Every structure is written in structure tokens, then in C-alpha cells.
Amino acid sequence: MLSAIIVAAGSSRRMGFDKLLAPLGGSTVLAQTIQRFQESPEVGEIILVCPAERFQSLNMMASCNMMRVDGGAERHHSVKAGLDALSTDSQFVAIHDGARPLVSKQAIALCYQKAQETQAATLARPATETIKRATEKGTVSESVSRDDLWFMETPQIFRTELIKKAYTEVEAQDQLVTDEVSALQLIGHGTTLVTSPCFNPKITYPADLELAEKFIHD
């Protein structure tokens, strides 16, 4: 069975307001994200990691295959809480940012298929822009080759026992990881990149909301 952990415990500091409850497509950012996984036939259970008050503000009824758990101080603490809540039937788990509401069912299915083949897969997109390194004062210091550089997206899908093993190592080494690919790197396990077939941005700034609204019904 494929489980899904939707991480939605952040404070939205850069947005200045609760971006996950911001209006989008007739509902909210987080509600749109949840709906994408609810409509995916591959997903058998959803673990929503968020504060109780945020969930209550969604005005959503918890379905038989969805439960809410509290998050932690950092993202990896929230992911660990989600992993601890998985059912014993979970064979693979998709870990997804609550602030990525445009992920498509096709993208989820493609990533899951690759994870079944390789044990670990993530949606990603190749770097296409010119990349520079800058000084602390914001002055360009050097060019960085974009060859073989990728932007990580979510979901990131893994065999459940594998990602649990990786998170045991995260805790043992007291590491701060910002995604699950980094957690697998700690145990020397690679993750296969799957080129995202859809526009799949993370809502971070107000302008991202405006852009997402234009794509929400595509």
C-alpha cells in the first residue's frame, strides 16, 4: 500500500500569513493539496502533519483513510511524526509539502512507479537558469555550472522500511535535513529523479499564490 504524509506544520514566516489556509481555487492551498492525494487511486492512507487549529480551519471531515498528527520544531521532526503514525500495511510512503497544491495525479503515479522499481524516487526538475554564487553583500562572486543540477520537488516516495531506517540515522546523528533525499544520503542510498510532468511550485511568497490560481484548474 502507498501511504502519503503531507507536511503542513510550518509557520509561513516568509509569507507573513498562514499560506496553507490562503484561498486558492475555491478552497485553500492545503485543501487543494490534500484533494490531489485523496483523488489518487494509488494512495491508501493520508497522514496530515499539522496543528489541530489549522486542520479545524480547513472545515474538512477526517475520512476513514486520513488522520492528523502534530508536527515538530523542524520539518524532519514533522516527517518523523508522520512516519511513526503509518499503518502496518504501509509498503511505500509519499512525503509531500502541504504548500505544493498543483501536483497532479499523473505526477504522483509516475513517481510511485519509479519508486517501486528503485525503492526511492522523487519528482524534480533540471536547473535551466544561469546560476551564480554571491557574496554576503549580494555581489556576484562566480558562475556555477548548471550541468547535472536539479531542483528537488515533492512528493518524494520511498519503500517505507527504507525511509524509516534513514530517519533512524537522522536522529542518531542529530542531523538537520530539509528533504528525504538528504536523509537517504546519510545511509548511502541514492534516489532516482523523475522529471516533473506538471507545474509543481511550492507556495512561498504572495506572488506564488497569484500564479498558482492561474494554473489550479488546468
pLDDT score for 65: 84
Q: Is the predicted pLDDT of residue 14 greater than 90, yes or no?
A: no
Between the alpha carbon of residue 1 and those of residues 34, 66, 69, 116, 163, the distances in Å are 18, 14, 20, 11, 15
| pTM of the full structure | 0.93
Confidence of residue 203 (pLDDT cuts 50, 70, 90): very high
Q: Is the predicted pLDDT of residue 169 greater than 70, yes or no?
A: yes
H helix runs in 119-205, sequence order: 160-172, 180-186
Is the distance from CB of 150 to CB of 124 less than 8 angstroms? yes
The whole-number average pLDDT for the span 134-138 is 92
pLDDT score for 63: 60
What are 16-41's pLDDT values in tens digits? 678 999 999 999 999 999 999 999 99
pLDDT higher at 58 or 77: 77
Q: Where are the domains of the chain?
A: 2-215
The DSSP call for residue 76 is H
pLDDT score for 216: 82
CATH of domain 2-215: 3.90.550.10
The whole-number average pLDDT for the span 199-214 is 92
What are 76-86's pLDDT values in tens digits? 999 999 999 99
pLDDT higher at 81 or 55: 81
The whole-number average pLDDT for the span 97-110 is 96
